[in-house]
C-alpha cells in the first residue's frame, strides 16, 4: 500500500447567485422516471394516466410545465410534450431534484491537480434583517462629501464563472448534495471568504484501484447577528472520497512504487525496474552500510520519503513512508558482508556443524542472485577460540568442548 | 555443747542414657601430611586444594568444575586466571532455590557459605559458562579432557570445606578423567535447568542442539543422573559383597534406604561393619537401626566424606547413603583400583585412611549406655552441634536440708529424708549421687515459760509450833513448758546425765538454748 498525502487549501467566495440545489422531491422524480421509461416526450395525458390516477389531463399538463420550468424535462418550441433533459437524467442518477434558489452564496473552491471539480461546495448565507442592513449602511465608510462609498468588491474567481459557463452539476464534498450554478449578477463582484486547510490522501493498494480522500474541517459561515445567540456548530467535518482523474488512476501501482522506492532509497530507477523484470518482485537495491539491524535481518524496511514532487499530474506530496519495502543487496560485496552479518546475527543459541549448515543454507537462500561464501563451522569455531569471551563464542565453544561436535 | 552430726546416703545411677554419641577422643582436624595412591585428605597442609589449583593453572583449553557449593577463593582466582589465558571454563552448581532449603543444623551450609557462593557466581558471570539445577550435588574437576586429561573427584564442596572438613579427594587417571568429562557434558546439556547469563541473572536452559554421547567407559566413574543409577548399584554391590569387613563413611544416612538395609543385613550375617558419619539429629534414626544390628558407628564433628570399602571393592563418591544421592540427583563415584602395585592399591590406600579414622574419630554411638559404662563427654543424639553437651561424671554431691532431732541427747535417732531426688543439672549425668545432711539438736522454743516444782517444808509458826509449808523450787537443770509439753534445758556438759534423768522423769524433751 502506497500512502501519499498533502495539505490543500480550500478558499471560499461570497456572491449573490442563483443556484439549483438538489432536494428530495419524489413526485418530480416520478415524472422524470416516467420520461426515462417511456423514452419519448411525454404529455399531460401520460402524467395523468400513469402518475395521477386519471385526474383530468390538464392537471397532467400543469405537472409537465413545472418540470420544464425546473429543467427536468425539455422541449424544442413552446408547448407540447417534453422529453427528459440532462438535468432530469442527473436527478434520476442522484435521486434529487435541482431546485433553483436565489440568494447570497458562499462557494468553496479547491484547486488541485488530483481534484476534478474545483467547485467543491456551496452554502447559502442567511440574509441579514432590514435593521442590520440599515445599520451596516450607516456605518459604511463615506467620501469627503459624505457620500457613501461603494462596498469593496472582488472579482468572481474563474472556477465559479467556469462552472456557470459549463453548466456544471457539482456535488458537495461536505454533504454530498448536488448543486448547479445557474446565474451570477453581471456587473457586481463578491467578497472572498475564509480559507481552510484540509488533508488530501492518495492511497494506492497493491491489488486494487487507488482512492482519493479529503479530510479535515472548515469553518461554517458566520451567522447574521440576530442568529448569533443560538449556539451553533462552528465547523463542518470533511471526510469524503473523491474521484481520481483517469490519467492518474490508470498509472500502474508498480510504476509509482519504483519511482518512490528509487527516490527514497537513492537508487537508480532503471535498476529498480530491472530487478522487477528479472525476479518479478519489487526490490530496492540497498547498500549494506545504509541499513539498520532490523532491515538487514528481515530484508525489508519502511522507507522514509521526504517531501517530493511527482509532476504536474500528481502534484507535490509531503514526507511519508513507503512501508514494507523488500530489499536486495546493491552489489556482490554488499551481499557478502550482509550474509556474514546475518550468520553472526542468527548465531544466538548453541550450535553444531549440522545446525550451522542448516542456518547457512537459509541465509544463502536470501541471496539467490549473488553467491556469497559463508565461513564453515570449523572456521567459526577457530574464530571463537580466538575470542572466547565474546558473547557469541560460547554458542560454538560450549557444544564443541562439551561433546556435541564429535 | 551438743554439736550437729552429718549423715550421708549414696545412690547409684543405673538409668540408661538416651541415644548418644560418647566422646572417645579429642576432635582433631584430619591429617593430610601424605597422599596415598592419589587419594587425598583435607588438613592444614591443604595438599588437595593445592592440587586442584595447580590443575586449573596448568589447563590449556578447557576446565570443567562441578560443585554443589562453589566459594573457595583460591579456586575462584585460578578459574579466573584460566579464563584470562583463554581457557574455557564450564561450571555446574546447585540452584539458589535448593540452597535456600538446606538444613541449618550444622555449619556445613550456614548462611555465610551460601552468601559466599552467590558472591562468587557474580564474579564468574560473563567469564565462566555456569549452569545449575536443584539436583546437582557432584563435586569434581576435569581439565583438558581431549588433549591432556586430568581430573579429581572430591567429597568436599569447593568452598571452606577444602580447608577444615574431613573429606576425601581422588585423582583420576586419563580414561577416568575423560569419562567424567563426558558425564559432565551429558548433565550440562540434558539436566541443567538454569544458565548464568549475566551477573545475578539465570535464564532457563533450552533444548541442546544435539544429544551428547554417553561415555562408553563405565569401569571407573559411576554416576547418578536423572536417567542413570550406576552409583547406587555400585554402592549396593560393594556392601552386599562384603564378607568379613565393611567400612562406610557418609555424612548423611537415610534410615530406610536400601543401602542402610544392606549394611544391617551384612552386620547380622556376621560381617564386621563400621559406619563413620557426622553426629547430627538427621542420622539418628539410621544409626539407631545400625547400632541395634551390631554395627559400630563412629563419628567426627567435621566428617563429610563418603566412601565404601569392603572385600568386594572400594568407592569414593559424592553421594550420601540416602535417596537423594544414590537414587536421584547428579552425583559421581570413583571405583578404586584394586590392582596391586609396588606401593599397594588405591583401595588399600582408602582402607588405611578409614582405619586411621576409626582409630581417631572422637565419637562412638551408643543407643542406651549406662553411666557406669562411660565417663566423660556425651553428645545426645537428638541435639545439634550448637546445643549444650552433656558430661557423665563419677559423683554428684547433693546437700540436703538439715534435720532437727527430737531429742538433743539422741541425734542418731533422727530419721533420714524420705525422698532422694535426682539433681537438676542437665549438663551432668552422675554415675553416683551422694546426698548429705546435718542432724541438729532441738532448740528451746521462744514461747516456753519456766516451770518449778512444789516442795513441802516444815517451818516454825508464830505460835512456835512447826507447820507444813509448800514452796516453789526451780528444777536443775531448768525445765520449761509450752502448753503441756515440757523441755529440759541443757546448759552445760555436766548437766547431761541429770538432764537425761529429769527428762525421763518428767517425760520431757532435752533441748539446747
Percentage of the residues of chain A whose pLDDT score is greater than 70: 92
Residue of B nearest to A393 (CA): B88
Q: Do B209 and A399 touch (CB under 8 A)?
A: yes
**CB atoms B61 and A354 under 8 Å:** no
Examine residue A214 and state whether it is found in any structural domain, yes or no.
Answer: no
All residues of chain A having their beta carbon less than 8 Å from the beta carbon of residue B186 are 403
First to last CA, chain A: 51
Quick one: A339 and A262 in the same domain? no
C-alpha B300/C-alpha B23 separation (Å) is: 10
Which chain B residue lies closest to A358 (C-alpha atoms)? Answer: B209
- The three three-digit cell numbers of residue B432, written as one number: 553416683
Which residues of chain B lie closer than 8 angstroms to A382, CB-CB? none
CA distance A358 to chain B (A): 12
Residue B184: the pLDDT is: 97
Same domain for A297 and A379, yes or no, is: no
Q: What is the mean pLDDT of residues B146-158?
A: 96
Q: For B129, which of A385, A398, A403 is closest by C-beta distance?
A: A398
Compute the nearest-CA separation of A399 from chain B (Å): 8
Residue B342, pLDDT score? 55
CB-based contact B208 A355, cutoff 8 Å: no
For residues B371-392, give the mean pLDDT.
Answer: 92
Residue B102 pLDDT greater than 70, yes or no: no
Q: Do A357 and A280 share a structural domain?
A: no
- Residue B222 near residue B330, CB atoms below 8 Å: no
Mutation target to probe the A interface, by most A beta carbons within 10 A, among B210, B213, B214, B217 is: B210
pLDDT at B408 over 70: yes
- For residues B270-298, give the mean pLDDT: 97
* Residue A200 belongs to some domain of the structure: no
| Mean pLDDT (whole number) for A363-373 | 93
What integer is the mean pLDDT of B281-308? 97
Q: What is the mean pLDDT of residues A156-175?
A: 89
pLDDT the model gives residue B147: 96
Q: Cβ–Cβ of A402/B184 closer than 8 Å?
A: yes
* A404 contact B CB<8A: yes
pLDDT of the residue at A151: 61
Give the pLDDT of residue B83: 97
Q: DSSP assignment, residue A245?
A: P
Clarify whether residues A19 and A158 are in a common domain.
yes
Interface residue A369 vs chain B (CB under 8 A): no
Q: Is residue B343 over pLDDT 70?
A: no
Q: What is the pLDDT of residue A126?
A: 79
Domain boundary pick from A275, A305, A330: A330
Residue B98 has pLDDT above 90, yes or no: no
Cβ distance A352 to B61 less than 8 Å, yes or no, reads no
Indicate if the pLDDT at residue B35 is higher than 90. Answer: no
Judgement on whether residues A359 and A305 belong to the same structural domain of the protein: no
Asked if B188 and A389 come within 8 Å (Cβ–Cβ), the reply is no
pLDDT of A221 higher than 80: no
**Listed range (A235-244, A257-266, A385-394, B314-323) with the worst mean pLDDT:** A235-244
Interval B103-127 mean pLDDT: 76
User: Is A291 part of any domain?
Assistant: yes
Count Cβ atoms within 10 A of the Cβ of residue A176 and give its class: 0-12 exposed, 13-18 middle, 19 or more buried: exposed
Distance between CA atoms of residues A354 and A377, nearest Å: 9
Q: What is the pLDDT of residues B181-223, one digit of tens each?
A: 999 999 999 999 999 998 888 899 999 999 998 888 888 999 9
Q: Do A404 and B212 touch (CB under 8 A)?
A: yes
Query: Which of A140, A157, A185 is the endpoint of a domain?
Result: A185
Q: Which residues of A touch B184 (CB under 8 A)?
A: 402
A140: in domain: yes
Structural domain tally of chain A? 3
pLDDT over 60 at A230, yes or no = no
Ranking A308-317, B42-51, B106-115, B358-367 by mean pLDDT, the lowest is B106-115
- Shortest CA gap B55–chain A (Å): 18
Query: How far apart (Å, rounded) are the C-alpha atoms in residues A218 and A196?
Result: 5
Q: Is the predicted pLDDT of residue B119 greater than 90, yes or no? A: no
Check if A353 contacts B (Cβ < 8 Å). no
Q: Which residues in chain A have Cβ-Cβ distances shorter than 8 Å to B61?
A: 401
Indicate if the pLDDT at residue B443 is higher than 60: yes
Q: Is the CB of residue A394 less than 8 Å away from at least one CB of chain B? A: yes
Taking residues B16-25, report their average pLDDT.
95
Let me know whether A308 and A388 are in one domain. no
Section A187-197 average pLDDT: 86
A305 and A338 in a single domain? The answer is no
- DSSP states of B54-93 as a string? HHHHH-SSEEEEE-SSB--HHHHHHHHHHHHTT-EEEEEE
pLDDT at position A284 over 90? yes
Contacts of A398 in chain B (CB under 8 A): 88, 90, 129, 188
pLDDT at A109 exceeding the cut of 80:
yes
Residue A355, chain B, CB below 8 Å: the answer is yes
Does the beta carbon of A213 lie under 8 angstroms from any beta carbon of chain B? no
Question: Is the model's pLDDT at A274 over the cut of 90?
Answer: yes
Q: Are residues A303 and A338 in the same domain?
A: no
List residues of chain B with CB under 8 Å from any CB of chain A: 61-62, 83, 86-88, 90, 126-127, 129, 181-182, 184-186, 188-189, 206, 208-210, 212-213
Q: Note whether A257 and A321 are same-domain residues.
A: yes
Contact list, B208 vs chain A (CB under 8 Å): 350, 399, 404
Query: B441 in helix, strand or coil?
Result: coil
Of A285, A309, A330, the residue at which a domain comes to its end is A330
* A384 located within any domain: yes
Interface test with B, best of A389, A398, A406 (most B CBs within 10 A): A398
Q: Answer yes or no: is A51 within a domain.
A: no
Average pLDDT over residues A165-177: 88
Tell me: do A354 and A396 sit in the same domain. yes
Q: What is the predicted pLDDT for the residue at B229? A: 94
Of A162, A164, A196, A204, residue with least CA distance to A180: A164
Instruction: Identify the closest residue of chain B to A352 by CA–CA distance.
Output: B209
Q: What 3-state class would DSSP assign to B345?
A: coil
A311 DSSP 8-state letter: -
Q: Is the Cβ of A400 closer than 8 Å to some Cβ of chain B? A: no
A chain contacts of residue B210, beta-carbon cutoff 8 Å: 352, 354-355, 399, 404
A363 neighbors A338 (Cβ within 8 angstroms):
no
Q: Which residues of B touch A401 (CB under 8 A)?
A: 61-62, 88, 90
b/e A289-314 (16+ beta carbons within 10 angstroms → b): eebeeebbeebebebebeebebeeeb
Number of residues that make up chain A: 406
Q: How does strand B403-404 pair with strand B129-132?
A: unpaired
Sheet holding B485-490, edge to edge: B449-460, B466-482, B485-490, B509-512
Same domain, A170 and A302: no
Asked if the Cβ–Cβ distance from B88 to A397 is below 8 Å, we say yes
Q: Long-range contact list for A272-279, CB < 8 A, 24+ apart?
A: A275/A328, A278/A369, A279/A369
In a domain, A111, yes or no: yes
Over range B7-36, report the average pLDDT.
Answer: 93
Summary mean pLDDT of chain A: 90
Domain hosting residue A269, numbered range: 253-330
Kindly report whether the global pTM for this prediction surpasses the value 0.80: no
State the pLDDT confidence band at B108, using cuts at 50, 70 and 90. Answer: low
**Per-residue pLDDT band at A233 (split at 50, 70, 90):** low
In a domain, A76, yes or no: no
What residues have CB less than 8 Å from A240, skipping those under 6 apart?
A173, A174, A176, A213, A214, A215
Question: What does the block give as the cell for A295?
Answer: 532491515
A306 and A347 housed in the same domain? no
Are the Cβ atoms of A350 and B208 closer than 8 angstroms? yes
B420 confidence band (pLDDT: 50, 70, 90): confident
Q: For residues B40 and B131, is the Cβ–Cβ distance under 8 A?
A: no
Asked whether residue B337 carries a pLDDT value surpassing 70, the answer given is yes
pLDDT of residue A132: 66
How far apart, in whole angstroms, are the C-alpha atoms of residue B191 and residue B66?
Answer: 13
Tell me the shortest Cα–Cα distance from A351 to chain B, in angstroms: 6
Give the mean model confidence (pLDDT) for residues B346-353.
94
**Does A357 contact B at CB distance below 8 Å?**
no
Amino acid at each position: 500500500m502506497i500512502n501519499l498525502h498533502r495539505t490543500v487549501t480550500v478558499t471560499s467566495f461570497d456572491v449573490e447567485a442563483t443556484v439549483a440545489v438538489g432536494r428530495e422531491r419524489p413526485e418530480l422524480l416520478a415524472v422524470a422516471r416516467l420520461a426515462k421509461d417511456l423514452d419519448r416526450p411525454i404529455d399531460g395525458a401520460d402524467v395523468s394516466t400513469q402518475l395521477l390516477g386519471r385526474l383530468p389531463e390538464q392537471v397532467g399538463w400543469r405537472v409537465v410545465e413545472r418540470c420544464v420550468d425546473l429543467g427536468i424535462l425539455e422541449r424544442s418550441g413552446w408547448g407540447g410534450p417534453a422529453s427528459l433533459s440532462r438535468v432530469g437524467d442527473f436527478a434520476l442518477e442522484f435521486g434529487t431534484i435541482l431546485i433553483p434558489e436565489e440568494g447570497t452564496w458562499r462557494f468553496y473552491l479547491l484547486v488541485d491537480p488530483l481534484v476534478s471539480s474545483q467547485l467543491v461546495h456551496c452554502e447559502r448565507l442567511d440574509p441579514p434583517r432590514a435593521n442590520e442592513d440599515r445599520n451596516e449602511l450607516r456605518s459604511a465608510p463615506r467620501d469627503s462629501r459624505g457620500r457613501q462609498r461603494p462596498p469593496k468588491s472582488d472579482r468572481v474567481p474563474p472556477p465559479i464563472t467556469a462552472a456557470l459557463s459549463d453548466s456544471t452539476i457539482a456535488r458537495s464534498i461536505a454533504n454530498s448534495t448536488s448543486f448547479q450554478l445557474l446565474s451570477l449578477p453581471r456587473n457586481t463582484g463578491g467578497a472572498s471568504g475564509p480559507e481552510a486547510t484540509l488533508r488530501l490522501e492518495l492511497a494506492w493498494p497493491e491489488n486494487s484501484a487507488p482512492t482519493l480522500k479529503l479530510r479535515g474541517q472548515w469553518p461554517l459561515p458566520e451567522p447574521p447577528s440576530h442568529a448569533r445567540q443560538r449556539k451553533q456548530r462552528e465547523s463542518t467535518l470533511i471526510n469524503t472520497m473523491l474521484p481520481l482523474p483517469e490519467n492518474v488512476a490508470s498509472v500502474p501501482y508498480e510504476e509509482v512504487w519504483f519511482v518512490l522506492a528509487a527516490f527514497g532509497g537513492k537508487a537508480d530507477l532503471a535498476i529498480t525496474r530491472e530487478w522487477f523484470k528479472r525476479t518479478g518482485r519489487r526490490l530496492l537495491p540497498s547498500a549494506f552500510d545504509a541499513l539498520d539491524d532490523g532491515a538487514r535481518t528481515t530484508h525489508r524496511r519502511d522507507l522514509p520519503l521526504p517531501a517530493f514532487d511527482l509532476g504536474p499530474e500528481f502534484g507535490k506530496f509531503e514526507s511519508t513512508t513507503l512501508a514494507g519495502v523488500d530489499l536486495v543487496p546493491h552489489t556482490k560485496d554488499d551481499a557478502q558482508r550482509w550474509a556474514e552479518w546475518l550468520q553472526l546475527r542468527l548465531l544466538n543459541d548453541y550450535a553444531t556443524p549440522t545446525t550451522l549448515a542448516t542456518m547457512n543454507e537459509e541465509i544463502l537462500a536470501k541471496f539467490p542472485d549473488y553467491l556469497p561464501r559463508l565461513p564453515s563451522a570449523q572456521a567459526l569455531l577457530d574464530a571463537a577460540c580466538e575470542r572466547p569471551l565474546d558473547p557469541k563464542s560460547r554458542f560454538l565453544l560450549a557444544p564443541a568442548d562439551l561433546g556435541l561436535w564429535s | 555443747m551438743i554439736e550437729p552430726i552429718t549423715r550421708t546416703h549414696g545412690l547409684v545411677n543405673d538409668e540408661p542414657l538416651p541415644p548418644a554419641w560418647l566422646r572417645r577422643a579429642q576432635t582433631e582436624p584430619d591429617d593430610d601430611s601424605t597422599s596415598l595412591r592419589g587419594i587425598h585428605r583435607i588438613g592444614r597442609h591443604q595438599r588437595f586444594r593445592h592440587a586442584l589449583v595447580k590443575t586449573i593453572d596448568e589447563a590449556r583449553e578447557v576446565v570443567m568444575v562441578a560443585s554443589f557449593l562453589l566459594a573457595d577463593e583460591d579456586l575462584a582466582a585460578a578459574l579466573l586466571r584460566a579464563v584470562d589465558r583463554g581457557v574455557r571454563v564450564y561450571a555446574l552448581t546447585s540452584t539458589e532455590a535448593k540452597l535456600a532449603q538446606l538444613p541449618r543444623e550444622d555449619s556445613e551450609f550456614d548462611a555465610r557459605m551460601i552468601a559466599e557462593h552467590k558472591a562468587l557466581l557474580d564474579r564468574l558471570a560473563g567469564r565462566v559458562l555456569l549452569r545449575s539445577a536443584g539436583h546437582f550435588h557432584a563435586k569434581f574437576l576435569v581439565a583438558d579432557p581431549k588433549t591432556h586429561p586430568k581430573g579429581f573427584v572430591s567429597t568436599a564442596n569447593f568452598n571452606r570445606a577444602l580447608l577444615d572438613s574431613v573429606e576425601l579427594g581422588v585423582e583420576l587417571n586419563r580414561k577416568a578423567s575423560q569419562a567424567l568429562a563426558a558425564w559432565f557434558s551429558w548433565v550440562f546439556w540434558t539436566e541443567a535447568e538454569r544458565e548464568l547469563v549475566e551477573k545475578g541473572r539465570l535464564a532457563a536452559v533450552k533444548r541442546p542442539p544435539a544429544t551428547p554421547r554417553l561415555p562408553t567407559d563405565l569401569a571407573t566413574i559411576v554416576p547418578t543422573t536423572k536417567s542413570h543409577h550406576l552409583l547406587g548399584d555400585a554402592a549396593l554391590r560393594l556392601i552386599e559383597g562384603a564378607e568379613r569387613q565393611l567400612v562406610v563413611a557418609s555424612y548423611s544416612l537415610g534410615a530406610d534406604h536400601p543401602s542402610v538395609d544392606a549394611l544391617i543385613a551384612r552386620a547380622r550375617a556376621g560381617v564386621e561393619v563400621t559406619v563413620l558419619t557426622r553426629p547430627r539429629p538427621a542420622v539418628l534414626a539410621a544409626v539407631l537401626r545400625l547400632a541395634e544390628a551390631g554395627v559400630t558407628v563412629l563419628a567426627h564433628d567435621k566428617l563429610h566424606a563418603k566412601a565404601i570399602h569392603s572385600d568386594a571393592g572400594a568407592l569414593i563418591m559424592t553421594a550420601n547413603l540416602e535417596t537423594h544421592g544414590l537414587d536421584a540427583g547428579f552425583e559421581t563415584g570413583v571405583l578404586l583400583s584394586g590392582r596391586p602395585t609396588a606401593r599397594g592399591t588405591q583401595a588399600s590406600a582408602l582402607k588405611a585412611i578409614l582405619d586411621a579414622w576409626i582409630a581417631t574419630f572422637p565419637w562412638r554411638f551408643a543407643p542406651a549406655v549406662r553411666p557406669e559404662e562411660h565417663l566423660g563427654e556425651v553428645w545426645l543424639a537428638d541435639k545439634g552441634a550448637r546445643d549444650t553437651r552433656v558430661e557423665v561424671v563419677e559423683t554428684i554431691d547433693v546437700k540436703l536440708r538439715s534435720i532437727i532431732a527430737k531429742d538433743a541427747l539422741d541425734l542418731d535417732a533422727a530419721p533420714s529424708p524420705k525422698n532422694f531426688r535426682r539433681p537438676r543439672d542437665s549438663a551432668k549425668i552422675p554415675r553416683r549421687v551422694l546426698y548429705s545432711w546435718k542432724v541438729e539438736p532441738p532448740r528451746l522454743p521462744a514461747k516456753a515459760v519456766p516451770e518449778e516444782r512444789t516442795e513441802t517444808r516444815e517451818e516454825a509458826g508464830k505460835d512456835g509450833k512447826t507447820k507444813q509449808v509448800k514452796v516453789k523450787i526451780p528444777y536443775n537443770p531448768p525445765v520449761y513448758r509450752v502448753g503441756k509439753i515440757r523441755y529440759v534445758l541443757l546448759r552445760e556438759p555436766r548437766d547431761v546425765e541429770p538432764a537425761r534423768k529429769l527428762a525421763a522423769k518428767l517425760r520431757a524433751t532435752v533441748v539446747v538454748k
